[in-house]
Structure 1
Amino acid sequence: MSIKRHFPLNIVRISPSLSNKNFFCHPYRKKKREVEFLYTLKEGMFMNTTNVAQLLNVSKSTVQRWVKQLDLQMKRNELGHYSFSENDVALLTQVHEQLQAGKNLQEISIMSKKRRNGIVKKEEKDHRTIELLKRIDELELRINRKADDVVSYQLLQHRQEMEELQKQITSLNERMSALEATASTLQNFPQRPQDTLLLLDQEIPQKKLKRKSFFTMLFG
């Protein structure tokens, strides 16, 4: 797409660097003091604020003020400076023309495909942002569910461990009660005399059995 405009010859100033780097300029005389320029940007090339200001014969701050006050969606480079495409230059040319006609900046109405595209792109960007936020919410919900599952599993595991410990404690208490009962029984058992205990350690001699005769057994 090309930009085709009429400018008075005495206000048009094109620097050599402007025509050599960013776009092709083909002037031809149409009237006595009027010249028509056909500007065609090279593919993939953009103009900076200085180039646009030179093209429109205004200051750089004026171009920047137009962009900000009219809320124009312009591309920026990696340094944060404006990069104007062919459509952007056409849009600013419309602004310049209406200002030259005596309108105030607040009264300027811009009908441009670029502006509509900017709105569409903004809507698409908002839609993508909403989708991204939705996916983030879903991921957070899944993470929270996983965290709840992990906590529930840990609580169940801790509960089982506590029940096992409780069983062990109960078993130990039962054994201790049994031992205490045995000790109490031993304390209440009557003690034997010391000599009796000593006799248990000594060997008791067997009594010699007297032999009885057969007659003694019969008549005795």
Structure 2
Amino acid sequence: MMEMILKTKQVSEELGVNPSTIQRWVKFFNLPCQRNEHGHYLFNEKHIEELRKIKDQLSEGLAMTDVQIDIPKKEAVKTKEFTLNNEIEKRLDKLIMRIDNMERRLETKADEVVSAQLLQHRLEIDDLVKKINSLENTLLEMQEKQTFQMQDYHSDFMLEKPKPVKRSWFASLLQLFSMIKS
């Protein structure tokens, strides 16, 4: 009977953990897993059972350094490097959580600033609309006044009759002389 071989994603789905968690456990506990041509881990039933035991012990609150596994000592070698990597990963996780928190706070603050700016712009636009309406009303009043003045001017002009030009007796005399000479 052929032994069942699973990849990291399949094992993570079976155990209900993230694929990167499976990879971290393999490295930390130095599980003797094979890799395929792409470098992906390949797990057999024995490996899956060990990973399940690791998950159960961690769920009980044990630290990774206190977890007991059934792999022979020559296969599972815990070194200071793995413990150091675990500490680095913990610190990295904390940093990532802090960065995520800062990003959320920054987004909230940016939303507040944009909202305040939009409100200020809206108030300025409302003020400009009032000023434009006031100018429009003033312009209409001026146009009406001008129309009435033009109407008054035209009506006064039409009522006036042209006055005959009065000539002085001297101008008439000069005109008479100029006719005689020509």
Which band: TM-score by shorter chain? 0.3 to 0.5
**Structure-2-length-normalised TM-score:** 0.45
Higher relative contact order (CA 8 A, sep 6+): 2
Q: Rg: which structure is higher?
A: 1
Greater percentage in helix: 2
| Structure number with higher strand proportion | 1
